[in-house]
Every structure is written in C-alpha cells, then in structure tokens.
Amino acid sequence: MKKLNVVLALMLVAAFALLSLSPLKAYADTVTLTIATAGPSYGGEQVYPYNFNVNGSTTTIPLMCLSLNNKIDFGESWTASIATISSFTGTTLTNYEEAAWLFNDANAAIAANNVTQQEDDQWAAWEVFATVTNPPDSGVATQLTAAENAVASGLPQSFYKNFEIYTPVSGWPSGDGIPQTFIGDSYFSGDAPTPEPGSLVLLGTGMFGLATFMYRRKRNA
C-alpha cells in the first residue's frame, strides 16, 4: 500500500507539471492598480517613482509613467493589462525598449542620489511616446539620446525580460479620462519565473514514466 501511495503521488506531480503548460497556468494578465504616491515634482509634473498598490496589497511597487498627456489622481484605481516587452513589434517595441533603458537608468540614478538624472529619465520617457514641447532642461534630450543609442546598439534580449508594461483597460472613474501606461520591473510585480515548456515536458514525461514503471513493478510482484 505504501508503494502504491508513492506511485499515485508521482503521477499527481506529473499531471501538475503538464497542466502548467495549459492556458490555466497561474499568471495574472490583468491587475488592479491604485496610485499611492509619486516622486518629486519637476517641470510642473511629479516624476518616477509612482508607487502603486496592486490588487489591494498593502505594499507598493514602483512604476514609471509613459503617458504625459493622460492624468491620474492619488487614490484612483483601474484595471491594467500586463505584457512583456517582447509581445510588441515595430516602433512600439523600440519605444518600450527605450523606456526600459530609461527606467533602469532612473533606478541607478536614485541609488546614486542623482535626482537630476532621475527627473530627466522620466521626462525622456515621456518624450519617447509624445513630443514634449517644453522639457524642463537640456538633460532630457541627453537622456533620450542615450536611451536611443543603447537600444540601437543591440542590448541583449535578456535585459528586456526584466520589465513589464501596464496598460489601462477598464475600471477608471467615469469622466476622469484614461489613466496612464506604466513600465515596471517584473521582479516587483511578484511574477514567478515561468519554466520553459520544453523543461516542463521533460519533467512531466519523466515523472509519468517513473510512476508507470513502479506501478507495473508493483502489479508483477
């Protein structure tokens, strides 16, 4: 009986491994964002980091705003879709790659206590998606050029896997306009690394084969 229980346990492990390949796998492609706080005010706008409660969590995650022309209010909530940068193509892909570089650079600036660079990175990110008629200083153009050059030089794809795009889809207050799009580090969103499908197939097949072998051995004993 003990061996049979082991066999059943192994078969369940195999089933769960194979199930993770299905569309039912536990990855939320939409979240509820609630804006809590934002970074310093510069050029008449508050800049990165914008700190959000996700799905009612009491902790916050920092996101960078990519839509200067849209507006949000503190305490406002809405539903946003989550997408990896690799899911986009063409000019949109290039824009999000540049935004990823600026987001990463802004984090480095914060770590170095370089507030000016932090502010310029945010304004440069806005410049990527919509022409800013009155950027607050020349450093914005410098950071934008740095982002363009970095992406054009061919950053490794592994760099872009660290970021996700949060696009508003529904749930904002009536008459309040469409909220802004944000970029964030996938680490902060709480996404668990997804095993490669090939590895899951090998694991599931191997465990199932072992369970079958042990079951047959038990019957022949």
Shared domain check, 214 and 160: no
Shared domain check, 68 and 96: yes
Shared domain check, 167 and 89: yes
pLDDT score for 191? 45
pLDDT category of residue 56 using cuts at 50, 70 and 90: very high
Shared domain check, 169 and 138: yes
pLDDT of 7 strictly over 50? no
CA angle 22, 27, 29 (to 5 degrees): 110
* Alpha carbons 72 and 33: distance in angstroms, whole number: 11
Nearest residue to 135 (alpha-carbon basis) of 47, 35, 39: 47
Share of the chain above pLDDT 90, in %: 65
Contact predicate 124/66, CB 8 Å: no
pLDDT of 39 strictly over 90? yes
* Alpha carbons 202 and 199: distance in angstroms, whole number: 5
SS3 25: coil
* Alpha carbons 196 and 148: distance in angstroms, whole number: 31
pLDDT mean over 139-150: 97
pLDDT category of residue 170 using cuts at 50, 70 and 90: very high
What's the number of CA atoms in the CB half-sphere (13 Å) around residue 100?
25
More confident: 59 or 199: 59
pLDDT score for 139? 96
pLDDT score for 175? 84
pLDDT of 179 strictly over 90? yes
* Alpha carbons 87 and 89: distance in angstroms, whole number: 7
* Alpha carbons 168 and 82: distance in angstroms, whole number: 9
Shared domain check, 104 and 38: yes
Shared domain check, 202 and 119: no
Nearest residue to 124 (alpha-carbon basis) of 33, 45, 60, 36: 45
pLDDT score for 197? 45
Shared domain check, 8 and 40: no
* Alpha carbons 17 and 7: distance in angstroms, whole number: 16
CA angle 91, 88, 49 (to 5 degrees): 90
Number of other residues whose CB lies within 10 A of the CB of residue 62: 20
Question: Radius of gyration of the chain from Cα atoms?
Answer: 23
Structural domain containing residue 14: 1-25+194-221
pLDDT mean over 52-58: 94
Total structural domains in the chain?
Answer: 2
* Alpha carbons 48 and 64: distance in angstroms, whole number: 5
Shared domain check, 101 and 185: yes
Shared domain check, 208 and 112: no
Shared domain check, 201 and 140: no
Reported pTM: 0.74
Shared domain check, 183 and 116: yes
More confident: 197 or 65: 65
pLDDT mean over 49-62: 95
pLDDT of 20 strictly over 90? no
Report the chain's mean pLDDT, rounded to a whole number.
81
Shared domain check, 185 and 172: yes
* Alpha carbons 19 and 204: distance in angstroms, whole number: 9
